[in-house]
Amino acid sequence: MADIQAIKNRFGIIGNSPALSYALQVASQVANTDLAVLIIGESGVGKEAFSQIIHALSARKHNPFIAVNCGAIPEGTIDSELFGHEKGSFTGAVDSRKGYFETVNGGTIFLDEIGELPLGTQARLLRVLEAGEFIRVGSSKVQKTDVRVIAATNKDLLELTDRGRFREDLYYRLSTVPIRVPALRDRKEDIPLLFRKFAVDFAEKYKSTPVQLDEEARNLLINYSWPGNVRELKNIAEQISVLSQDKQVTGAEISRFIPAGNNNRLPMLISNNSAATTNGHEFANERDILYKLFFDMKKDVTELKKMFVEILKNPSLTSTLQHSTFANELKDLQPQETFQQSVLQPAINNAQPMVLHNHTPIQDHVEVEESLNIMDKEKELIIKALKKHKSKRKDAASDLGISERTLYRKLKEYDIEDL
């Protein structure tokens, strides 16, 4: 096993966190094998650096290494990129082409964002891992390859398998040796060291004096949650190096560069057992709290609709409404006088039976319920966009503000046929 400090010096790894050192130790131990490795960590923690370390310490170090971002390749072409294609196998395939698994034969391929791979491509990748075989798109000839696969993800692949988005057999085949790269907030002791290294690098780049932090500024950096991890710290270090007037940076100065709120995550109420709670209910995470809020909001909106429908149908209820518990609750939402003048009183005083454009009085079966299910609304918007653009997926995706690949995935997820 290589010395951990020597690995840090060789590859420019900054930090003394035990979690970081352990991840490097696992990487060095597995490097000389041909086992598949799954690198797990949040975006920006440096997962690709670990893949390069494994390759450089392996017997394949003199052979090719290639990093592939699976999330950046369109679903329709990713099979061709990885496994190659034959001439005429699809529109635009004017020549035969070798894929990465063919060109990197004998070397290492790093598959970043492995959770973004389509299910069909996952099946092809599993075949490569198990038998070292692949077939070009449009061909029937089985070809052999000797490639070491290192994968990385910032998602919970087991959760994706539960949702049918990732093959369980592929997950266990990839995670023969998992390496967990710690988030920056979990290695706080390394933050000042990293900042100092980045500050010196940028001072040399921009031919200036390196910035230094006072105690308050250092504490602000240490206590920030760093959702973007090392990548975000490097970005802020560069901003401060370029924009700071004083090379001795204070806490007030550095707070201008740290995003407001000091955290991009939802607030949580913590009970004795560290679970989020609200109104006596316990929740596992922020998502459950959001669902509860949406549900309560739906009930309040529904009650409000019912109340006004009843007023429109029966104006005699206005006096009852003025003294109702629900009206008192509504008045609590803003100062009493302002609320009565702006919302409640005009609605009550002017309440008249509703008449439709064809002079038909409102019917008793007025529907006031509506679905607030996020997935239903998303599906409805996708269908509307496809109808609007006459099934042109590229235009529909642009209108929805999503990528064409994401739209393809949503169509499969919601089982939507072209309209």
Q: Average pLDDT for residues 3-24, to the nearest whole number? A: 93
Contact criterion met (CB below 8 Å) for 53 and 107? no
Give the separation between CA 43 and CA 183, rounded to whole angstroms. Answer: 9
Residue 381's pLDDT is 85
Residue 408 domain-assigned (yes or no): yes
Last residue of a domain, one of 132, 149, 182: 182
Residue 262 domain-assigned (yes or no): no
The most distant pair of C-alpha atoms in the chain lies apart, rounded to whole Å, by 88
Domain match, 246 and 176 both = no
Residue with tokens 């950096």: 221
Domain match, 196 and 49 both = no
Indicate the average pLDDT of the chain: 81
Residue 311's pLDDT is 72
Give the separation between CA 199 and CA 221, rounded to whole angstroms. Answer: 14
* Poorest-pLDDT segment among 201-205, 211-215, 245-249, 403-407: 403-407
Q: Strand, coil or helix: what is 28?
A: helix
Last residue of a domain, one of 213, 238, 254: 254
Last residue of a domain, one of 182, 217, 242: 182
Residue 154's pLDDT is 95
Residue 132 CB partners (closer than 8 Å, separation 6+): 144, 145, 146, 147
Q: How many domains does the chain have?
A: 3
* Poorest-pLDDT segment among 30-39, 206-215, 233-242, 269-278: 269-278
pLDDT range class, residue 373, cuts 50, 70, 90: low
* pLDDT tens-digit readout, 82-127: 999 999 888 888 889 999 999 999 999 999 999 999 999 999 999 9
Q: Average pLDDT for residues 262-267, to the nearest whole number? A: 45
pLDDT at residue 363 tops 50: no
* pLDDT tens-digit readout, 132-172: 999 999 999 999 999 999 999 999 999 999 999 999 999 99
Residue 361 CB partners (closer than 8 Å, separation 6+): 353, 354, 355
Domain match, 49 and 124 both = yes
Domain match, 174 and 228 both = no
Domain match, 45 and 194 both = no
What CATH number has the domain bearing residue 245? 1.10.8.60
Give the separation between CA 27 and CA 44, rounded to whole angstroms. Answer: 18
Query: Degrees (nearest 5) of the Cα angle 232, 238, 244?
Result: 120
Q: Average pLDDT for residues 264-280, to the nearest whole number? A: 42
- Which range of residues forms the domain containing residue 53? 4-182
Greater confidence, 185 or 278? 185
Domain match, 178 and 65 both = yes
**Amino acid of residue 363:** Q
Domain match, 32 and 165 both = yes
Domain match, 137 and 215 both = no
Residue 367 domain-assigned (yes or no): no
What CATH number has the domain bearing residue 380? 1.10.10
Domain match, 51 and 166 both = yes
Residue 361 domain-assigned (yes or no): no
Cα 97 → chain centroid: 33
Domain match, 237 and 193 both = yes
DSSP 336-397: HHHHIIIIIHHHHHT----B-TTSPBPPTT--------HHHHHHHHHHHHHHHTTT-HHHHH
Cα 296 → chain centroid: 26
Domain match, 235 and 92 both = no
DSSP 115-168: GGS-HHHHHHHHHHHHHSEEE-BT---EEE---EEEEEESS-HHHHHHTTSS-H
Residue 209 domain-assigned (yes or no): yes
